Structure 1
Amino acid sequence: MNDPVVILAARRTAIGSFQGQFQGVSAPALGAAAIRDAVLQAGVHASEVDEVHMGCCLMAGIGQAPARQALIAAGLPDSVPATTLTKMCGSGMKTVMLAHDQLLAGSASLLVAGGMESMTQSPYLLPAARSGQRLGHGQMIDHMFFDGLQDAYDGQLMGVHAEAIAKEMGFTRAEQDAYALASVQRAQAAVASGAFVREIAPVTLKVKGVERTVNVDETPGQCKPDKIPTLKPAFGADGSVTAASSASISDGAAALVLTRDSTARSRDWRPDPALNPRQARLARRP
Structure 2
Amino acid sequence: MRPPNDASALEEVTERADTVWTRPSGKPPRVHVTARRELKGPHGRVAIIDGCRTPFIKSGTDFRDMDVIDLASIAAAELVARTAIDPELIDLSVFGVVVPALHAPNLGREVVFRTSLPMRIPGVTVNLACASSTRAMTFGAGSILTGEADVVLAGGAESLTNVPIQFSRKAARTFMELNRAKTLPQRVGALGKLRPTDLAPVAPAIAEYTTGLSMGESAEKMAKENDISRRAQDEIALLSHQRAAAATEDGRFARQIAPAFPPPGYDKAVAADNGVRADTSMEALAKLKPVFDKRYGTLTAGNS
Do Structure 1 and Structure 2 share a fold, with TM-score over 0.5? Answer: yes
CA distance in 2, matches of 1:95, 1:116: 11
Q: Does residue 245 of structure 1 match 2:300?
A: no
Structure 1 residues 111 and 166 mapped into 2: Cα distance closer, same or farther (>3 Å)? closer
Q: Which residue of the partner structure matches residue 205 of structure 1?
A: 262
Rg bigger for which structure? Answer: 2
- Cα distance change, pair 165–5 in 1 and its aligned pair in 2 (3 A): closer
What does residue range 1-286 of structure 1 map to in structure 2 within 5 Å?
1=40, 3-128=44-169, 129-132=171-174, 134-136=193-195, 137-138=197-198, 140-143=201-204, 146=205, 148=206, 150-207=207-264, 209=265, 211-221=267-277, 224-225=280-281, 227-235=284-292, 236-246=294-304
After the TM superposition, which parts of structure 1 deviate over 6 Å for at least 4 consecutive aligned residues?
none
Q: Which deviates further from its counterpart, 178-187 or 154-163?
A: 154-163
CA distance in 2, matches of 1:72, 1:80: 10
CA RMSD of aligned residues (A): 2.2
Q: Report sequence identity in percent.
A: 27
| Bigger relative contact order (CA 8 A; separation at least 6) | 1
Instruction: State the shift of 1:135 in Å.
Output: 4.7
- Give the 3 Å change call, closer, same or farther, for CA 125–35 of structure 1 in structure 2: same
Aligned to 1:282: none
Would you say how many aligned residue pairs link Structure 1 and Structure 2?
241
CA displacement at 1:210 relative to structure 2: 5.8
Q: Name the TM-score, length of structure 2 as normaliser.
A: 0.72
Q: Distance in 2 between matches of 1:173 and 1:87?
A: 25
> Which residue of structure 2 aligns with residue 278 of structure 1?
none
1:160-195 deviation per Cα after TM superposition (whole angstroms, max 9, x unaligned): 332233233322222222221111111111111111
**CA distance in 2: counterparts of 1:65 and 1:162, whole angstroms:** 28
Listed one character per residue, the Cα deviations across residues 108-149 of structure 1 (whole Å, up to 9, x for unaligned) are 222211111112110221142331173543253212xx1x2x
Post-superposition Cα deviations, 1:236-262, rounded to whole Å, max 9, x if no partner, equal 13422211111xxxxxxxxxxxxxxxx
Deviation at 1:85, TM superposition (A): 1.9
Q: 1:87 is aligned with what amino acid?
A: L
CA shift digits 1:59-99 (9 cap, x unpaired): 14342532222222223132322122222222222222222
Give the TM-score normalised by structure 1: 0.76
